[in-house]
Amino acid sequence: MTVSTRRVTAAGESARGRRRERPGPLRRSFGNHWYAWAMVTPVLAVMLVLIGWPLARGVYLSLTDATEANIGRTIGVNVIPASYEFVGLENYARILTSGVFWDKLLWTVVWTAVCVALHYGIGLGLAVMLNRRLRFRSVYRVLLILPWAVPAFVAAFIWRYLYNSDYGVINGFLRLAGLGGVGWLDDPTTAKIAVIAVNVWIGVPFMMVALLGGLQSIPAELYEAAEVDGAGAWQRFTAITLPGLRQVSSTVVLLGTIWTFNMFPIIFLVTRGGPGSETEILVTYAFREAFTGIRNYSGSAAWGVIILAMLVVLAVGYRRTLRSQGDPW
C-alpha cells in the first residue's frame, strides 16, 4: 500500500511540477489531504490493471507478428514454444497501404456522420415536442425510451427478421401494397440504409433523454422575456434553446460519435458485414481479423490501435474547437 502511494505521489509531483515551478503546495496538499490520496490509490491501481495493462499489451502485440499459432502455450501434453518476433511498424504499414482500410474508413465515416446527424436531429425534435405540456406525456416518454431498453442483439435480430427478403414483415407489407419485395440486406446500398435505420432507431432515445434534460434546465423566464420582446418561435429556438443546449449537445455528440464509430453489434448481427463486406466498419473488420481461422493477434491489435488513435485525435480536436468557442470544457 505504502509503496503504491509513494509511486502515485511521485507521478503526481512530476506532472504538477511542470506546471507550477514550486513543489511546496503539493507537499502541503499531501500533508493536508493524505486521506484523499489514499482513497484514490485503489482506483488508480485498478485502472492500471484493467485499462493500462491491456492497452500496453495491445500496443506491444501490434508491433510483433503474434498469431494464435506462434504465441506459445502448454496445454496438457502439447507444448508449443513462443516464436513470435518484434517486427516494428510492419503491421501498420500493411494496413495503411491496403485499399481495404481506406474503403472501410470512408464507409465508417459516412456511417458515423449520418447516424449521429440523424440521432441528434430526431432526438432534438422529439425532446422539444416532449418538453411541452401535452396529454399522456409520460406515456410517450416511456414508449420513446423503449428502443434504448431493448438489448442491441435482440433489436438486431428483430430487424433482421423484419428485413428478410422472402418472409420479412417489411416486404410483406410492400407485397400487400402491390409493390415488389426488396432484398434489403442483399444490395450494398439498401443494406447500408438498413443498418443506419436500425442504429438510428436504437440511438435516438438516448439523445432525446439527454437533450430533454438539457431543455428542462433552461429557465422558462428566458422564453417569457423573449416572447414579450416579440420573438417568434424560430427565433426563440435559435436564440435560446440551441445556446442553452450547447453544453449537453457537445457532450452527447462527442459520445454519440465515438459510440457509433465503434458500433459493433448492429453491423455484425444485422448484416454480418455483408453483402460481400460492403457494410463492414473498421471495428467489425478488425474483429474478423482477430476471430476467424487462426487468429491474427498482432494484426487486429494494430487495427485496434489505429482506431483508438483516430478517436483520440477526433476527441481532442473536438474539445479544442469547443474551447476556442468559449465552452468551459
Q: Would you tell me which residues interact with other proteins (CB under 8 A)?
A: 68-69, 73, 75-80, 160, 163-167, 183, 185-188, 271-272, 274-277, 288, 291-295
Question: Would you state the cell numbers that stand for residue 174, as one nine-digit string?
Answer: 410492400
Question: Would you state the cell numbers that stand for residue 180, as one nine-digit string?
Answer: 415488389
What amino acid is encoded at 152 in this protein?
A
Q: Minimum distance from CB of 212 to other proteins (Å)?
A: 36
CB 58 within 8 A of CB 37: no
**What is the C-alpha to C-alpha distance for residues 58 and 302, in angstroms, rounded to an integer?**
8
Query: Between 186 and 227, whose beta carbon lies closer to other proteins?
Result: 186
Q: Minimum distance from CB of 273 to other proteins (Å)?
A: 9
Query: Between 32 and 78, whose beta carbon lies closer to other proteins?
Result: 78
Q: Minimum distance from CB of 198 to other proteins (Å)?
A: 13
Taking the CA atoms of 159, 165, 166 and 170 in sequence, report the sign of the dihedral they define: positive
CB 84 within 8 A of CB 298: yes
Question: Would you state the cell numbers that stand for residue 124, as one nine-digit string?
Answer: 432534438
Q: Minimum distance from CB of 165 to other proteins (Å)?
A: 4
The C-alpha torsion from 251 through 252 and 254 to 258, rounded to 10°, is 140
Q: What are phi and psi of 79, to 5 degrees?
A: -120, 120
Q: Minimum distance from CB of 78 to other proteins (Å)?
A: 4
Query: Between 119 and 160, whose beta carbon lies closer to other proteins?
Result: 160
Query: Between 293 and 326, whose beta carbon lies closer to other proteins?
Result: 293
State whether residue 218 is helix, strand or coil. coil
Query: Between 261 and 287, whose beta carbon lies closer to other proteins?
Result: 287
Q: Minimum distance from CB of 272 to other proteins (Å)?
A: 7
Pick from 60, 56, 268, 38: which is nearest to 153 by CA?
268
Query: Between 183 and 244, whose beta carbon lies closer to other proteins?
Result: 183
